[in-house]
């Protein structure tokens, strides 16, 4: 990386700070650089453990150390992508604020970019599906929180030769898990109702056609969002590719909206959804 970085005529970085299973903050620094022959290098530059605080100043100091280690020149940095955390985007004490102050003293400038995946996650959180998701999570936790009940449930799925061997947990920091939970719950809804009846548990919403229709709708919606999320990930993808995929998804949303407006949803159709 040092040899390649020495040939860069321009490069950009992306930062992502998250906490590992040992409760230690890890700062991932990605780099994409181009040389004079337009050869592009895209790599995970470094993964820096932050064992104390994770302020904008701390993040900036970590980036400075990595730049020194890899002999990266500040004047060749053209853009920085971050999430929307205050420690990242704060105008004064955040990482971006500290970086702008440094660039100001050097007479330089750079482009600040908000990560598309974080933006998509924030937009998806505005979808009000708590009535469905809260009940799904209550039932999932009821089944999986108790070891004996969880083992019985998995054995029940196995005896019925179900395509699913278990129900996944919802991991709030992992947006894709929301779609997996809703989709798997809907696919084996009948099995879940039978198992809860055996356990002496009753949830009237599971037999309510309107609630089941909402579950099906949100499961489909989040599954499409998951597909978009995956399409926005990967190597060697340029901003024009992102724009094309997002524009195509917007067109699909408009098409689905027009379809819903022209179809009357009756009680009979809700019963068909349940079956």
pLDDT tens figures, 227-253: 888 887 777 777 788 889 889 999 998
Expressed as residue numbers, the domain containing 172 is: 121-274
Same domain, 163 and 109: no
185-229 confidence digits (pLDDT tens)? 888 888 889 888 888 888 889 888 889 988 888 888 888 888 888
- The C-alpha atoms of residue 18 and residue 54 are separated, in whole angstroms, by 10
pTM of the model: 0.62
pLDDT, position 78: 93
Q: Residue 267 carries which DSSP code?
A: H
Judged by DSSP in three states, 234 sits in coil
Structure tokens at 183: 């989709």
Q: Residue 118 carries which DSSP code?
A: H
- Residue 109 belongs to domain with CATH number: 3.30.420
**Cβ 12 vs Cβ 80: under 8 Å:** yes
Same domain, 89 and 182: no
CA 184-275-223 angle, to 5 degrees, is 30
Same domain, 137 and 212: yes
The residue whose two tokens read 């809700």 is 270
- The C-alpha atoms of residue 42 and residue 33 are separated, in whole angstroms, by 7
Domain boundary among 114, 137, 157: 114
């Amino acid at each position: 990386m040092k040899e390649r970085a020495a040939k860069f005529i321009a490069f950009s970085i992306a930062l992502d700070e998250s906490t590992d299973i040992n409760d230690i903050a890890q700062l991932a620094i990605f780099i994409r650089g181009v040389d004079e022959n337009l050869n592009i290098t895209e790599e995970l530059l470094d993964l820096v453990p932050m064992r104390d605080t994770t302020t904008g100043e701390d993040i900036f100091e970590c980036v400075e150390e990595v730049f020194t280690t890899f002999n990266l020149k500040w004047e060749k940095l053209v853009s920085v992508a971050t999430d929307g955390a205050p420690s990242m985007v704060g105008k004064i004490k955040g990482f971006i604020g500290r970086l702008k102050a440094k660039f100001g003293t050097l007479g330089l400038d750079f482009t600040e970019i908000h990560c598309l995946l974080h933006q998509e996650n924030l937009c998806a959180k505005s979808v009000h599906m708590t009535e469905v998701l809260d009940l799904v999570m209550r039932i999932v936790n009821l089944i999986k929180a108790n070891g004996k009940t969880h083992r019985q449930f998995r054995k029940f799925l196995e005896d019925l030769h179900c395509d699913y061997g278990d129900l996944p947990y919802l991991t709030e920091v992992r947006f894709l898990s929301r779609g997996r939970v809703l989709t798997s719950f809907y696919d084996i809804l009948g099995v879940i109702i039978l198992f809860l009846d055996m356990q002496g548990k009753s949830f009237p919403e599971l037999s309510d056609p309107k609630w089941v229709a909402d579950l099906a709708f949100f499961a489909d919606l989040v599954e499409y969002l998951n597909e978009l999320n995956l399409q926005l990930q990967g190597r060697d993808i340029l901003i024009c590719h992102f724009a094309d995929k997002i524009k195509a998804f917007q067109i699909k949303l408009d098409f689905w909206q027009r379809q819903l407006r022209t179809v009357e949803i009756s009680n009979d159709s809700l019963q068909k959804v349940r079956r």
